[in-house]
Amino acid sequence: MVVQDAVDLVRNAIMMSLIIGAPLLVIGMLVGLAIGLIQALTQIQDQTVSTVPKLVAMTIAIALALPWMTDQMLEYSRNLIRDIPALVSPR
């Protein structure tokens, strides 16, 4: 295996984890921002007020995005397994 192949494998793995995790992180960020704005406007500074809506929103988001996330992971795994012979064979 050439060093460039190893670098490409790591880069692709990191990109796939970012792509798969992005919807949940964006939902958590948007809900946290909205709750933080509401807390600033109403001056309610309780931690559970911000935590519970984020947990609920992220649970709903993962339930909705799970089929897409699974498809992405399966496609990445198929491509990785398909490319194993080319990666381990000497050049």
Q: How far apart are CA 6 and CA 4, in angstroms?
A: 5
With a cut of 90, say whether residue 14 has pLDDT above it: yes
Where are the chain's structural domains?
Answer: 3-88
pLDDT of residue 45: 79
pLDDT of residue 46: 80
Q: Is the pTM of this model over 0.95?
A: no
Q: Return the closest-CA partner of residue 31 out of 60, 5, 6.
A: 60
Q: What percent of the chain has pLDDT over 90?
A: 65
